[in-house]
């Protein structure tokens, strides 16, 4: 199936689910990825779940991302806010178009960071999130309490991109606004390991249906 473009301008793929008990997954790729990258991961993590997978609209040397950065790990925070708003608009539109419940985000790296921004700023956009190698997207995150959703943060002990204290700051920021966060720090780097997949799939059996 070829990708389509939403009215909100997101190139994306949508794979309908065949297990209505499973919540839809919003798959958010890392820097240089696209809307096809994480579809195999999504069907592996939650077989039968609908999959919605947009391509980030920002290009960095030709590589799609979900927001601009000034350097590695240094974000253009005005753009983070703008792009999180655009992505929330895409989710709302896609929910109507495809008749979907609020999705659980599964984001890797830059995709995890934009999912974190959604969780901090757009209450109700997501029904949960798995953040793989995430860092905090905002230096002064909002503190307004929300209803809160379950969030799994999987960090890498030897991650050269995400310092441990940065991931810890993110967990704290998510908890401050009311999310129910579980964090595991794995003996891994920035790349995903088999343990990530096992833990994410287990978490989805608890919260994904
Ligand atoms: C980001 O820019 O979001 C993070 O540094 C991770 C990355 O995409 O390399």
Distance from residue 73's CA to the centre of ligand 1 (Å): 6
Q: How far apart are CA 117 and CA 195, in angstroms?
A: 25
CATH code of the domain in which 37 resides: 3.40.50.1820
Q: Tell the burial category of 158 from Cβ atoms under 10 Å away from its Cβ (0-12, 13-18, 19+).
A: exposed
Q: Is the full-model pTM beyond 0.85?
A: yes
Q: How far apart are CA 45 and CA 208, in angstroms?
A: 10
pLDDT tens digit sequence for 106-161 = 999 999 999 999 999 999 999 999 999 999 999 999 999 999 999 999 999 999 99
Contact 184, 199 (CB under 8 A): yes
Q: How far apart are CA 109 and CA 148, in angstroms?
A: 22
User: 46 CB under 6 A from ligand 1?
Assistant: no
pLDDT tens digit sequence for 54-73 = 999 999 999 999 999 999 99
Total domains in the chain come to 1
Contact 78, 111 (CB under 8 A): no
**In the predicted model, is pLDDT for residue 6 greater than 90?**
no
User: 63 CB under 6 A from ligand 1?
Assistant: no
Q: Atom 1 of ligand 1 has which residue's CA nearest to it?
A: 110
Residues that are catalytic: 109, 159, 190
Look up the domain containing 61 and give its range.
4-207
User: 31 CB under 6 A from ligand 1?
Assistant: yes
User: 74 CB under 6 A from ligand 1?
Assistant: no
């Amino acid at each position: 199936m070829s990708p389509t473009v939403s009215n909100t301008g997101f190139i994306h793929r949508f794979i309908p689910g065949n297990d209505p008990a499973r919540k839809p997954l919003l798959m958010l790729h890392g820097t240089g990825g696209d809307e096809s990258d994480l579809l195999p991961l999504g069907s592996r993590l939650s077989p039968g779940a609908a999959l919605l997978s947009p391509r980030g609209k920002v290009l960095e040397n030709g590589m799609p991302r979900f927001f601009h950065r000034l350097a590695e790990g240094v974000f253009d925070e005005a753009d983070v806010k703008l792009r999180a708003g655009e992505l929330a608009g895409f989710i709302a539109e896609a929910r109507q178009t495809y008749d979907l419940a609020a999705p659980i985000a599964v984001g890797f790296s830059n995709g995890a960071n934009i999912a974190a921004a959604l969780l901090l700023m757009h209450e109700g956009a997501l029904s949960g999130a798995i953040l793989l190698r995430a860092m905090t997207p905002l230096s002064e995150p909002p503190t307004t309490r929300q209803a809160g959703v379950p969030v799994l943060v999987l960090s890498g002990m030897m991650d050269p991109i995400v310092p441990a204290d940065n991931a810890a700051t993110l967990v704290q920021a998510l908890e401050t606004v009311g999310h129910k966060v579980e964090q595991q720090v794995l003996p891994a780097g920035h790349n995903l390991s088999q343990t990530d997949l096992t833990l994410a799939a287990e978490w989805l059996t608890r919260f994904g249906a």
